[in-house]
Structure 1
Amino acid sequence: MTDNLDWLEVLIRRDPARRGLAGHEPSPLCAGHLEAAARNLASGARAVGIVTGFAVPLDDGPVAETDGPPGAVLLADILTQLGARVWLITDDPCSGALEAGRTFCGLDDVPVVSCPVAPEAAEPFLQRLWTDQWQDGLSHLIAIERIGPSHTPTSLTAQPRSGPPPLEEFERLVPPENRDRHHTMRGEIMDASTAPLHRLFEEADRRSDMRTVGICDGGNELGMGTLLWEDVTSRLPEPIGPRIVCRTRTDWTIIGGTSNWGGFALAAATAMQAGRVDLLRDWTVARMSDLLEDLVAHGPAVDGCTRRHEATVDGLPFETFIQLWIEILHRAGGET
């Protein structure tokens, strides 16, 4: 299928949380990246790693949020049926949610790779992935709602731009303690419960035969380094916004009102580009609801905004959250 997919990008750019990134004003960020990524996946996905899982800090320890895993398992299901080998990749605090999602979807051939958080254990673990599981390499690496490290003066200077880097502004807005850190949207530093999975994307960046995708909604996720720090910062509120912007780049960055919406859209677009719209028909609204309920119950998982164990996403009730998927299915000719 070669139909223009601008309509799909417009759908996911609703901005219910008013974070400022997904909207169209003054101009949409990363316009066309969704369609380009879907075309590349449909034509060349062979071995795909999908990285997701954001650990929400709770009093009794961090657990995964409900934004990310649903989009990841839907995308894994579609790519698997299109013939790709898929790995779901996360870290120890979020592994339960990915295992629950994999089991719910019957993805028996899709392993969940859980990286330890401690850097001294994480680094050799990630190195072994390339040598033990990915000997033939990956064709694609995709991040969905996965926070990454913030900018430093070095990363800011390294970004290609037509003029000089805004180092003075950066030094003023980003205190040293907020540089090279993983942040929540509230500015909380999450290094102690976040494995350095951005290292996978740094390695992919050195490999000419790999393509990467970042799916984001807030500015602190893997993939935001595709955009200039100052362009992202201009859309985020101070003082927290400038501090949290992730420096990790991807070939294509998809921005939506929630990251799940971006994952859903990429899955649908890839199926459409492959001429396999029929693969979407099993993903009814009822199945989506059951998946979210299952993640909350068995992950466990929580809403990242409310921090409650409830089947909502970014504070949106399910009935509101799922409207985008209903519109995608109607437009693509699927069943709801």
Structure 2
Amino acid sequence: MCENPIDIIEHVITIDPGHRGIDTMWQYGSLQKAADSILKQDRKIPSYVLTGFCCMFGRCETDGPLGSAILSSTLRDLRFNTFLLTDSFAEPVVKAAASEVFAENALFNENKEKLVVSVDDPTKIVNISFIISIERPGRSRKTNDYRTMSARDITQCTAPLDLLFPQIGESQKSYLTIGVGDGGNEVGTGNIADEVCKHVNHGDEICTSICADILIMTGVSNWGALALAAALVIVANDKTAAEKFINQCINQPNILKKMIDAGSFDGCTGKPELSIDNMKYEDDHLIVTNKIIAAVKMAFQMS
């Protein structure tokens, strides 16, 4: 049994509840590597957490913004100049998540800059320290458009923000890039495109060409976001940030409610309910959340 808290967290999130065929694609050690790499970056230069997957009705699903808002908050607690990044299609849901997480400072930083940045043109994002993508569509390697897990075309409601990341065959960006995905069509999973083609249903059509310096594969992308936030507070040894992270995790049902009120829905069922990827929050997601919290408490010897 592993005793390193980050190894425990990585073990918790590397399960395949949707039976997508990703259980051969875990990137063991990537959680530690991502946290170590982020904490070496300049904290004054803007950094971004990119999210928003509009897979039905032109609206954003529940997987992505929930964990992204908490991760963004944790990064700011660690004194990074971090912003949530999305496009105009997912903006209402991402803002709703952020409004619950950042309620204290009303979605503005100390310089009165908006903490949620919504753009449809990736060239408007410049001077980047690092960027993390959580459940964001990456263009198909085969057709160069955006696809759901069932290979449905969603290009009409997806801005090309994946171009902030390198494509297969391109050199790395001048800034750190990290991708979190759970299926093979998300930004960053171009790192394992051949495996996605081989093991995932519709893999040849959905696998993306968009890569990342570090890829975190997980059963649900929100879990990956929470896991990365947890790893960051542990590596930074910041107990205050850890306590805030735990409180944000406990508050997830309220964040989800805000998102649903803004038009979000479960990306698998299409229903506006407190569930993610066809799993009720109070069941699977609460279990995973509690295990992540327990690992953080163990790291800081909290009761």
2:133 aligns with: 143
1:29 aligns with: 26
Contact 2:165 2:173 survives alignment (8 Å): no
The whole-number CA distance in structure 2 between the counterparts of 1:208 and 1:56 is 28
Contact 1:37 1:213 survives alignment (8 Å): yes
2:251 aligns with: 287
2:302 is the counterpart of 1:306: no
The whole-number CA distance in structure 2 between the counterparts of 1:234 and 1:278 is 44
Please show how residues 247-326 of structure 1 align to structure 2 within 5 Å: 247-282=209-244, 283-284=246-247, 286-297=250-261, 299-319=262-282, 320-326=284-290
The whole-number CA distance in structure 2 between the counterparts of 1:321 and 1:115 is 30
Q: Which amino acid aligns with 1:317?
A: K
- How far off is 1:226 after superposition? 1.4
The whole-number CA distance in structure 2 between the counterparts of 1:316 and 1:9 is 20
Give per-residue Cα distances to partners, 1:96-139, cap 9 Å, x unaligned: 111112211124325222223xxxxx3xxx32332xxxxxx211
Give per-residue Cα distances to partners, 1:33-60, cap 9 Å, x unaligned: 11100111123252311110001322xx
- How far off is 1:151 after superposition? 0.9
Q: Which amino acid aligns with 1:296?
A: I
Contact 1:268 1:277 survives alignment (8 Å): no
1:69 aligns with: 65
The whole-number CA distance in structure 2 between the counterparts of 1:213 and 1:277 is 24
1:230 aligns with: 194
Contact 2:13 2:288 survives alignment (8 Å): yes
Q: Which amino acid aligns with 1:257?
A: G
Which stretches of structure 1, 4 residues or more, deviate above 6 A after TM superposition? none
- How far off is 1:208 after superposition? 5.8
The whole-number CA distance in structure 2 between the counterparts of 1:208 and 1:187 is 28
**TM-score normalised by L of structure 2:** 0.87
Give per-residue Cα distances to partners, 1:36-91, cap 9 Å, x unaligned: 00111123252311110001322xxx111100001111110110011111121111
2:100 is the counterpart of 1:96: no
RMSD: 2.2
Please show how residues 32-43 of structure 1 align to structure 2 within 5 Å: 32-43=29-40
Instruction: Name structure 2 gaps, 5 residues minimum.
Output: none
Aligned residues: 283
1:54 aligns with: 53
The whole-number CA distance in structure 2 between the counterparts of 1:213 and 1:128 is 20
1:244 aligns with: 206
SS at 1:7 equivalent? helix
Q: Which amino acid aligns with 1:9?
A: E
SS at 2:278 equivalent? coil
The whole-number CA distance in structure 2 between the counterparts of 1:31 and 1:104 is 32
Q: Which amino acid aligns with 1:141?
A: I
**TM-score normalised by L of structure 1:** 0.79
2:184 is the counterpart of 1:219: yes
My pick for the range that moved more, 263-272 or 47-56, is 47-56
SS at 2:275 equivalent? coil
Please show how residues 60-209 of structure 1 align to structure 2 within 5 Å: 62-106=58-102, 107-109=107-109, 111-116=115-120, 122=121, 126-130=122-126, 137-152=127-142, 179-202=143-166, 209=174
The whole-number CA distance in structure 2 between the counterparts of 1:20 and 1:265 is 21
Q: Which amino acid aligns with 2:29?
A: G
The whole-number CA distance in structure 1 between the counterparts of 2:21 and 2:42 is 32
- How far off is 1:209 after superposition? 4.2
Give per-residue Cα distances to partners, 1:181-205, cap 9 Å, x unaligned: 11001110111111000111149x7
SS at 1:17 equivalent? coil
2:57 is the counterpart of 1:18: no
Bigger Rg, structure 1 or 2: 1
**Relative to structure 1, is the Cα distance of residues 33 and 206 closer, same or farther in structure 2, using a 3 angstrom cutoff?**
same
Instruction: Name structure 1 gaps, 5 residues minimum.
Output: 117-121, 131-136, 153-178
- How far off is 1:95 after superposition? 0.1
SS at 1:212 equivalent? strand
**Relative to structure 1, is the Cα distance of residues 258 and 149 closer, same or farther in structure 2, using a 3 angstrom cutoff?**
same
Give per-residue Cα distances to partners, 1:204-257, cap 9 Å, x unaligned: x76764111000001000001112x322222212xx221100110100000111
